[in-house]
């Protein structure tokens, strides 16, 4: 308890709260620099922006000057319904999620179960590279690895691509946990399978997802959670997600030049705008240093990798500021929309495939984007009114 208060105090003390009034007109949008990373035929735009409101609760792209960066306290709860909210997660698991910003549910699925889904995802992705038409006569939206015309980095709208994927990604335990955390019915804001191919897969630089979702998609509040199903073993060496435990308690705001309306084309491969600098990450390190010192409660293996026990004492433990979210195929990682995370390039001989499903609270539906004038396409930011369903957001596929 004392440690937790100390950690919390640390965060509050180190955080610099900036309330900026610089929200005046922005320079004209930069010209489109179209990278060929997404099948453009599949870009579904919904430009009817009812309820236009581009006010921002977060200091960042629209209020800060280019190069200006701040850490500010999270303006929203992590557990919108508190620890007593009923659902599949225990109060202890909710406590871990609240404190660290993530939680691993080991072995929710069997390796055999996920192998089927993984093979389906790889087949759909491979087919999408060679042909715009997939096996079912529809099309699939993919992003390729930077510099490659053949290696798929992401397969979007994955929960709609095949029943084998949907059944895992929208499993009742996962949807129920997301609802428990955001204390609301949820819908799928975005889904994808990310492939980190052996020796080839490139990592993702440090980022908080809600930065993009808030400024480019108009997501009003921090009321969304991501669920990762590990479709292959995730090791530290093959690109397991890395996180700053506790970083979800602060927001890393980054000022920028005007965001190009088609920023998503390049940011899907490498994110630059809104990315924190090394200096801001150092400040985040200081701010979150105490967060994961308290060991996770029993049954919540939310930290560290799975090294053989006999070597544990021989090897120096890195300070707990950054940790790998490792797990066996079939494990599930839940993480908060504002958790600072990223991944290494996969230089190992072991491929790493994970599905990502972003659940947003129905009450947190998207408004107009704040930093761009054209909403991102539907496969990145779902605005479809027909998907405003509750616990089982299984919309019929538009890509099959
Ligand atoms: O797949 C990965 O390694 C990281 C993905 C990620 O950070 C994201 O999708 O936001």
**Which residues are CB-neighbours of 13 under 8 A, at least 6 positions away?**
none
Cα–Cα distance between 246 and 384 in angstroms, integer?
32
* Atom 9 of ligand 1, nearest CA residue: 356
Q: Report if residue 377 sits inside a domain.
A: no
Query: Which of 194, 269, 352 has most ligand 1 atoms within 8 Å of CB, for mutation?
Result: 194
341 Cα to the center of ligand 1, angstroms: 8
Parallel/antiparallel/unpaired status of strands 142-144 and 152-156: antiparallel
242 Cα to the center of ligand 1, angstroms: 9
94 Cα to the center of ligand 1, angstroms: 23
SS3 254: strand
Q: Report if residue 370 sits inside a domain.
A: no
Ligand 1 atom at minimal distance to the Cα of residue 356: 9
Q: Report if residue 305 sits inside a domain.
A: no
Q: What is the pLDDT of residue 74?
A: 94
Q: What torsion do the CA atoms of 202, 267, 233, 347 make, to the nearest 10 degrees?
A: 10
245 Cα to the center of ligand 1, angstroms: 16
For the Cβ of 343 lying below 6 angstroms from any atom of ligand 1, the answer is yes
Q: Report if residue 106 sits inside a domain.
A: yes
The pTM assigned to this predicted structure is 0.79
Q: Report if residue 300 sits inside a domain.
A: no
Q: What is the pLDDT of residue 140?
A: 64
6 Cα to the center of ligand 1, angstroms: 31
For the Cβ of 356 lying below 6 angstroms from any atom of ligand 1, the answer is yes
The DSSP code sequence of 296-329 is PPTT---SS----HHHHTTSPPPPTTSEE--B-T
Which positions of the chain have pLDDT values less than 70? Answer: 1-55, 130-140, 268-269, 290, 292-319, 385-400
The total number of structural domains in the chain stands at 1
Q: Report if residue 398 sits inside a domain.
A: no
Burial class of 46 by CB neighbour count within 10 A (0 to 12, 13 to 18, 19+): middle
Q: Report if residue 24 sits inside a domain.
A: yes
Contact 204, 243 (CB under 8 A): no
Cα–Cα distance between 8 and 99 in angstroms, integer?
9
For the Cβ of 194 lying below 6 angstroms from any atom of ligand 1, the answer is yes
What is the domain-level CATH number for residue 238?
Answer: 2.60.120.620
Structural domain boundaries, residue 110: 6-292+319-364
Q: Report if residue 120 sits inside a domain.
A: yes
């Amino acid at each position: 308890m004392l440690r937790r208060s100390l950690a919390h105090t640390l965060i509050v003390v180190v955080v610099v709260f900036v309330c900026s009034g610089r929200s005046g007109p922005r320079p004209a949008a930069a010209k489109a620099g179209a990278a060929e990373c997404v099948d453009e035929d599949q870009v579904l735009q919904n430009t009817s922006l009812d309820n236009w409101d581009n006010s921002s609760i977060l200091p960042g792209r629209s209020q800060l000057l280019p190069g200006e960066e701040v850490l500010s306290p999270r303006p929203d709860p992590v557990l919108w319904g508190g620890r007593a909210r009923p659902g599949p997660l225990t109060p202890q698991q909710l406590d871990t999620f609240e404190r660290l910003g993530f939680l691993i549910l080991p072995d929710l699925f069997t390796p055999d179960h996920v192998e089927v889904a993984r093979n389906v995802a790889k087949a759909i992705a491979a087919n999408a590279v060679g042909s715009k038409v997939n096996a079912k006569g529809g099309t699939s939206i993919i992003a390729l690895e930077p510099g490659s015309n053949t290696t798929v980095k992401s397969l979007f709208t994955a929960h709609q691509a095949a029943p084998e994927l949907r059944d895992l990604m929208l499993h009742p335990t996962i949807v129920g946990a997301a609802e428990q955390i955001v204390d609301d019915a949820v819908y799928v804001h975005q889904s994808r399978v990310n492939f980190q191919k052996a020796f080839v897969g490139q990592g993702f630089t440090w980022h908080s997802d809600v930065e993009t979702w808030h400024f480019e998609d108009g997501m009003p509040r921090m009321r969304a959670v991501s669920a990762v199903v590990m479709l292959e073993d995730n090791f530290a060496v093959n690109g397991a997600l890395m996180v700053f435990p506790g970083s979800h308690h602060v927001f890393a705001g980054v000022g920028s030049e005007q965001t190009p309306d088609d920023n998503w084309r390049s940011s899907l491969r490498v994110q630059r705008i809104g990315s924190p600098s090394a200096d801001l990450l150092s400040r985040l390190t200081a701010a979150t240093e105490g967060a994961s010192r308290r060991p996770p409660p029993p049954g919540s293996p939310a930290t560290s990798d799975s090294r053989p026990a006999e070597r544990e004492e021989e090897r120096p433990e890195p300070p707990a500021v950054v940790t790998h979210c490792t797990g066996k195929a079939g494990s599930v990682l839940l993480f908060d929309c504002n958790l600072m995370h990223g991944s290494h390039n996969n230089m190992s001989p072991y491929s790493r495939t994970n599905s990502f499903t972003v659940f947003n609270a129905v009450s947190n539906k998207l408004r107009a984007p704040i930093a761009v004038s054209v909403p991102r396409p539907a496969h990145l930011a779902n605005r479809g009114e027909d998907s405003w369903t509750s616990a089982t957001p299984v919309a019929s596929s538009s890509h099959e």
